[in-house]
Structure 1
Amino acid sequence: MKALLLHDKGLWKEMKVEEIQTPQPGEGELLIEVHAVGLNPVDYKTATNGNPNWTYPHVLGLDVAGVVAETGDGVTRWKKGDRVVYHGNLLKKGGYAEYTIAQAHAVSRIPQEVSFEDAAAIPTAGYTAYQALYRKLPFDQIESIVIHGGAGGVGGFGVQLAKLAGKTVISTASSSNHEYVKSLGADYVIDYTNEDVVARVMEITGGHGVDAVVDAVSRQSSTASLDMLGYMGHIVYISGPPEFTKIPGFTKVPSYHEIALGAAYQHGGLKAEKDLAVMGDAMLSLMAEGKLTSMLKEVIQLEEVPAALERLAERHVKGKIVAKVK
């Protein structure tokens, strides 16, 4: 089969499409004929340093949409020809290939109303946003929320999900993306490049601060975000914890929540892996009903992935990029 091969750590910019042996499904696994794969920053970040569990050549690509080509022993729910999407295991070979292997219990069925490309745009960013809002926060108690980076993947899905739940949504983006982020559902968008974000949030909330912040930007950003939390506020961080000592004890009494979606495979066990499929089912249902957009902005070919990952690394890509394989 054809696959985009990473021959060693740090060489992701030099990846090329080459021939490699087609894998075979083991017990509880599916062989997936890949139709589309979503691009994510985690691809180039992990490829830069490599992983001790990888053997080379390695295949990147966590967000896979395709068709079941073969089922392994013990698989009863899925059959050949089923349309599926899933978030893959970072430690194993991924989906930048014609075929790949998935855990049967971690995949979601793609509704007929949803294309392979739209489905592949969801998992890493979408499930992260869903996990932040519906698994970490007491979301029924949240009225106002700041979701940083509304033009990006996690931020864009977070804005949509929060607005669907009826929350007052404040987001951050460069001025050129304000209308786009508002179209996703943000009530307010703050230009982080030339506005004092904390001051604007406090102005919008009448000096009270927000009930929650979701930050997928950086540790520095999550630390700065502590100043915009209200009393008993919550912060969910994806790209590094804030400096906890910034808020003195027994004052704002904030709650801190870490998100690491891939840890479902490494540390979460079977229940956590199955929950990936539950989150996928929920988001695909919303998409099929026309309530959620995949934010798909560009469809590329497999050989174009390295150049597209370079653009992602510059952190100015709006929406999602997906590679079409079949």
Structure 2
Amino acid sequence: MRALVLDRPGAPDTLRLAELPVPEPGPGQVRVKVEACGLNPVDYQVAAAGHADWTWPHVLGLDVAGTVDAVGEGASRDLLGVRVACHGDLRRAGGFAEYSLADVVALAPVPDALDAASAAALPCAGMTAYQAVVRRLHVTGEHTVLVTGGAGGVGGYAVQLAAQAGARVIATTSAVNAEHVRELGADEVVDYRTEDVPARVRALTGGRGVDAVVDTVGSGSATGNLALLVHGGGLAAVAGRPDLTAVAPFTTAPSVHEIALGAAYSHGDKRARADLSVMLFELFGLAVDGRLDPRLARTLTLDEVPAGLAELAARHLRGKLVLTFR
């Protein structure tokens, strides 16, 4: 099979095209004939450092959509020919290849009305936003929510999900993406390059602050945003934990939620992996109903993926890049 491989830890431009043996599914696995695979920041981040569980050459790509063409022991043969998608285990070979293996309990069926590229755009970023907004922060119409990086992968989905819940949404982004983020559902947009974000958020909320924060930037940003939470508010940290010592004990009493989807494989059990399937299928339903835009920016061929990852690393991309096999 054709695959894009990494021979050692390195930058996206060290990836190369190769021919690899088609993998055989083991117990509890299926083999997916890949139709599409989403690109995510974790791809270039983990490629730079490598992973102790990898064998070389390694195939990146966590978000796979395609058709089951073989099943391992313990996996039902009824899955053969079924269109599926999943968020995979970063310790294993991924979907930048014509075939990929997947844990059967993590699979979500892809509705007929959803194309493979859109299905592959949703898992990592979409489920991260879903877990933050719906599962952890329990956002409702009574809430004001701050989303940092509103034009990014996770941020763009978080803006949509919070708006769907009826919340007032404040999002940070650059001026060039402001109108796009408003179209996703943000009520107010703050230019993080030219404005004092905390001061602007306080002004927009009449000094009250926000009920919830989805921070997609990093630990420094998350720490600063703790000060914007009202009493009993919550922060979902996507890119780095905040320093809780920034808040005096027994004052605003914030709740902090670390979002780590991939840990369902490395530190979770079968139930945690199965929940990946549940969340993804719920996202597919929202997309089919027109309530969630998969935000597909464009599709790439296998040889275009390294440049796509480099573009993603520059952090100015609007929407999702997806590899497709035509």
Q: Tell me the TM-score range normalised by the shorter chain.
A: over 0.9
TM-score by length of 1: 0.97
- CA distance in 1 between partners of 2:56 and 2:230 (Å): 49
The answer (yes or no) to whether the contact 2:145–2:169 under 8 Å persists in 1 is yes
> 2:14 is matched by which residue type in structure 1?
E
Q: Is 1:97 paired with 2:111?
A: no
C-alpha displacement at 1:229, in angstroms?
A: 1.1
Distance 1:191 1:37, change over 3 A: same
- CA distance in 1 between partners of 2:134 and 2:274 (Å): 16
Which residue is equivalent to 1:88? Answer: 88
- CA distance in 1 between partners of 2:242 and 2:156 (Å): 22
Give the length in aligned residue pairs.
Answer: 326
Q: Which has the larger displacement, 248-257 or 94-103? A: 248-257
The answer (yes or no) to whether the contact 1:71–1:78 under 8 Å persists in 2 is no
Gaps of 5+ in 1: none
Question: Which residues in structure 2 correspond to 1:138-157 (within 5 Å)?
Answer: 138-140=138-140, 143-157=143-157
Distance 1:77 1:194, change over 3 A: farther
Gaps of 5+ in 2: none
C-alpha displacement at 1:79, in angstroms?
A: 2.1
- CA distance in 1 between partners of 2:25 and 2:253 (Å): 49
> 2:173 is matched by which residue type in structure 1?
A
Question: Which residues in structure 2 correspond to 1:152-191 (within 5 Å)?
Answer: 152-191=152-191
Which residue is equivalent to 1:295? Answer: 295
- CA distance in 1 between partners of 2:50 and 2:205 (Å): 44
Partner SS state of residue 139, structure 1: coil
Question: Which residues in structure 2 correspond to 1:1-326 (within 5 Å)?
Answer: 1-76=1-76, 78-140=78-140, 143-326=143-326
- CA distance in 1 between partners of 2:141 and 2:317 (Å): 33
- CA distance in 1 between partners of 2:138 and 2:157 (Å): 18
Percent of aligned pairs sharing the same letter: 47
- CA distance in 2 between partners of 1:127 and 1:226 (Å): 23
- CA distance in 2 between partners of 1:231 and 1:283 (Å): 30
The answer (yes or no) to whether the contact 1:27–1:72 under 8 Å persists in 2 is yes
- CA distance in 2 between partners of 1:114 and 1:134 (Å): 22
C-alpha displacement at 1:154, in angstroms?
A: 0.3
C-alpha displacement at 1:169, in angstroms?
A: 0.8
TM-score by length of 2: 0.97
C-alpha displacement at 1:78, in angstroms?
A: 4.3
- CA distance in 2 between partners of 1:124 and 1:78 (Å): 26
- CA distance in 1 between partners of 2:142 and 2:50 (Å): 39
- CA distance in 1 between partners of 2:11 and 2:221 (Å): 29
Partner SS state of residue 300, structure 2: strand
C-alpha displacement at 1:142, in angstroms?
A: 5.7
- CA distance in 2 between partners of 1:267 and 1:8 (Å): 25
- CA distance in 2 between partners of 1:138 and 1:295 (Å): 23
> 2:25 is matched by which residue type in structure 1?
P
The answer (yes or no) to whether the contact 1:78–1:104 under 8 Å persists in 2 is no
> 1:59 is matched by which residue type in structure 2?
V
- CA distance in 2 between partners of 1:139 and 1:157 (Å): 14
The answer (yes or no) to whether the contact 1:173–1:192 under 8 Å persists in 2 is yes
**For each residue in 1:174-195, what CA deviation from the matched residue of structure 2 results, as whole angstroms up to 9, or x when unmatched?**
0110110011111111100001
C-alpha displacement at 1:153, in angstroms?
A: 0.5
- CA distance in 2 between partners of 1:78 and 1:55 (Å): 31
**For each residue in 1:12-31, what CA deviation from the matched residue of structure 2 results, as whole angstroms up to 9, or x when unmatched?**
42212110010001122111
**For each residue in 1:141-181, what CA deviation from the matched residue of structure 2 results, as whole angstroms up to 9, or x when unmatched?**
86111011110000001011111111111101001101100
The answer (yes or no) to whether the contact 2:142–2:166 under 8 Å persists in 1 is no
CA RMSD of aligned residues (A): 1.2
Q: Which has the larger displacement, 24-33 or 274-283? A: 24-33
C-alpha displacement at 1:200, in angstroms?
A: 1.3
Partner SS state of residue 178, structure 2: helix
C-alpha displacement at 1:134, in angstroms?
A: 2.1
The answer (yes or no) to whether the contact 1:13–1:306 under 8 Å persists in 2 is yes
Q: Which has the larger displacement, 132-141 or 121-130? A: 132-141
Q: Which has the larger displacement, 236-245 or 6-15? A: 6-15
- CA distance in 1 between partners of 2:55 and 2:316 (Å): 32
C-alpha displacement at 1:227, in angstroms?
A: 2.1
> 1:184 is matched by which residue type in structure 2?
L
- CA distance in 1 between partners of 2:221 and 2:78 (Å): 43
Partner SS state of residue 208, structure 2: coil
C-alpha displacement at 1:139, in angstroms?
A: 3.1
Runs of 4+ in 1 over 4 A off after TM superposition: none
Distance 1:112 1:194, change over 3 A: same
> 1:301 is matched by which residue type in structure 2?
T
> 1:324 is matched by which residue type in structure 2?
T
